[in-house]
Structure 1
Amino acid sequence: MTENTPGETVPGNARPTAPGWLEILAGGAAYAASFLLVAVLLPLVENVAVHGVVGLLVSGAMGLIAFAAAAAVRIRGLAAFGVRRAKPHHLLLAALLGLLAYLLGTVTAIVYMTVSGDMQNVQTSYQAAAAAGRWSLALVFVAGVTITPLGEEAFFRGVLANAVLARYRAWIAVLVSAAIFALAHGINPVLAAAFVVGVLAALLFRWSGSIWPGVVLHGVNNATALLVPLLAARAGV
C-alpha cells in the first residue's frame, strides 16, 4: 500500500490527506484553553494523592480534546492522523525505547538540575498517588500509562509532528515538535525528560506512520518512572 505524503491531496479529493496548519491552530487553541482551565482548577484539589491521579487524567484529556478539535476541522479518516495499525517490530522497538527514554530522561533531568539549580520534584503528587494504596496505584497506572500517553501522542505526534514533518526536513520537524512537547510540561526538570520522549516518539512516528509505537514508548517510560521511585522507597533506598 502506498502512503501519501502528509499534506498531499488525493486526486479527486480536495481535502489534504494529513493535518496542516489549520489543524495545528485548532488543536493548539483547544490545548491552550484546556491547559488554562486545568491550571486554575487543579490546585483546588488539596489531597496530594488525588491531585496526582487527577493530574494524569487531565494530561491525557487535554491531548484528546486537542486531537478532537484538530480532527473536526476537516472530515477525513483517522488514519490521516496516524491512527493506523502498527507493525509488531515497531511496537517491540517502542517498548525497548521506552526503557531507554527513561534512562536518558533521568540523565538529562539530572544535568538540567545541576546546570539550572532547579531541584524541584514536580512529580511528587504522582509518586504520592502511586504509594497511596492498591486502588490508587491502579488508577495511576490507568491514567499515566494508558490515558496520558494516548492523549499526548494523538495530539503531539498525530497532529503536530505529523503536520510539521510534511513541511520541513525530518530532523527539524522532530526537534521542533519535541521542543513544543517538552515546553508543554513546564520549565522544570521534567522538561529535559519530556524532550527525550518527544524526540524518540517523533522518530517512531516518522518510521512507522502510526501513533501506536509512540503510545507504547510513552507508556513504558511513564510506567518505569512511576515504579522505580515506588520500589526504591519500599526497599529503603
Structure 2
Amino acid sequence: MAGIVAFLAALSLRVRALRPFGVRRTRWRWVFIGIGGGVVVWIVARLLVAGYTVIFGVPENVQATYNTAAQGGVLALILSTLFLGVLTPIGEEVLFRGVLATVLLRWGWVPGVLGSAVVFMFFHGLNGFNIAYLTAIVEGIVAAELYRRSGSIWPGVIVHVTNNAIANLLAAGAG
C-alpha cells in the first residue's frame, strides 16, 4: 500500500493527470507479453536462487511469512494472493515505474531501466542483502523495459502479478 500512497503523493504534488505516469491503456499484445515476462522472471529468479544456494548455502528466506500465509487455508490463500499478487504489484509498479522510471528515462534507457530496477531491488532488502534481491532485480529490469517500450505501466504490473501469483500459489501447494 505504501507504493500507492507514494504515487498519490507524487500525483498530487506535481501532475494532476495519470497519463504522464504511464497509467494508460495498453494493447492486448502487451498484456500477453507481460504474462510471458512474469513466467520468465519466475524461472530466471529460481535459477539465480539455486545458483546462489549452491555457491553460498541455503539463504534465509526473508519472505517466509508470505509462504506461511499462503499455506493457511483457502481464505488465507485468497487474501495473500489478492494483497501480494495484485495490490502490492500495482502499488510498486506505479511507484517504481510510473514515477521513478519516468523521471530516470529522461536521461536514457540505462538510467531509466537499470536505475529504477536497482532502486526497486534495494527496496526489497532495506536491512541488507537477501535472496529477494535476485527476484527483484530481474523483475525490475523486465517491468521497466516493458514500460519503456509500451509507454504503459500495465505490462509491468502483469509481470509482477504473474511472478508473485506463481510464487504464492506454489507456496500454498508446498504446505
TM-score range, shorter chain: over 0.9
Q: Greater relative contact order: 1 or 2 (C-alpha under 8 angstroms, separation 6 or more)?
A: 2
Q: Match for 2:171: what amino acid?
A: P
Pairwise CA distance, 1:93:
0.5
Deviations 1:49-70 (A, max 9, x none): xxxxxxxxxxxx1101111111
Note if contact 2:59-2:131 (Cα within 8 Å) is conserved in structure 1.
Answer: yes
What residue number does 1:176 align with?
Answer: 115
Q: Match for 1:221: what amino acid?
A: N
Query: Are 2:132 and 1:190 equivalent residues in the alignment?
Result: yes
The 3-state SS of whatever aligns with 2:39 is: helix
**Greater share of helix residues, 1 or 2?**
2
User: Aligned residues: percent identity?
Assistant: 39
Note if contact 1:160-1:177 (Cα within 8 Å) is conserved in structure 2.
Answer: yes
What residue number does 2:145 align with?
Answer: 203
Note if contact 1:81-1:158 (Cα within 8 Å) is conserved in structure 2.
Answer: yes
CA RMSD for the aligned pairs? Answer: 1.4
Higher Cα Rg, which structure:
1
* Alpha-carbon distance between aligned partners in 2 of 1:67 and 1:202, rounded to the nearest angstrom: 16
Note if contact 1:118-1:188 (Cα within 8 Å) is conserved in structure 2.
Answer: no
Gaps of 5+ in 2: none
Matching residue within 227, 231, 235 for 2:169: 227
Q: Match for 1:142: what amino acid?
A: L
What residue number does 1:104 align with?
Answer: 44
Q: Match for 2:106: what amino acid?
A: A
Change (3 A) 1:138 1:195: same
The 3-state SS of whatever aligns with 1:166 is: helix
What residue number does 1:153 align with?
Answer: 93
Pairwise CA distance, 1:113:
4.0
What residue number does 1:212 align with?
Answer: 154
* Alpha-carbon distance between aligned partners in 2 of 1:214 and 1:92, rounded to the nearest angstrom: 11
* Alpha-carbon distance between aligned partners in 2 of 1:183 and 1:110, rounded to the nearest angstrom: 20
Pairwise CA distance, 1:118:
6.1
Pairwise CA distance, 1:115:
4.3
Pairwise CA distance, 1:160:
0.4
* Alpha-carbon distance between aligned partners in 2 of 1:75 and 1:171, rounded to the nearest angstrom: 24
Note if contact 2:41-2:138 (Cα within 8 Å) is conserved in structure 1.
Answer: yes
Deviations 1:163-207 (A, max 9, x none): 10112x213321111011011000200101110000000000001
Normalization by structure 1: what TM-score? 0.69
Normalization by structure 2: what TM-score? 0.93
Q: Match for 1:174: what amino acid?
A: V
* Alpha-carbon distance between aligned partners in 2 of 1:96 and 1:180, rounded to the nearest angstrom: 24
* Alpha-carbon distance between aligned partners in 2 of 1:135 and 1:77, rounded to the nearest angstrom: 36
Change (3 A) 1:66 1:212: same
* Alpha-carbon distance between aligned partners in 1 of 2:116 and 2:27, rounded to the nearest angstrom: 23
Deviations 1:102-149 (A, max 9, x none): 001111223334445561011211111111011111100110111000
Gaps of 5+ in 1: 1-60
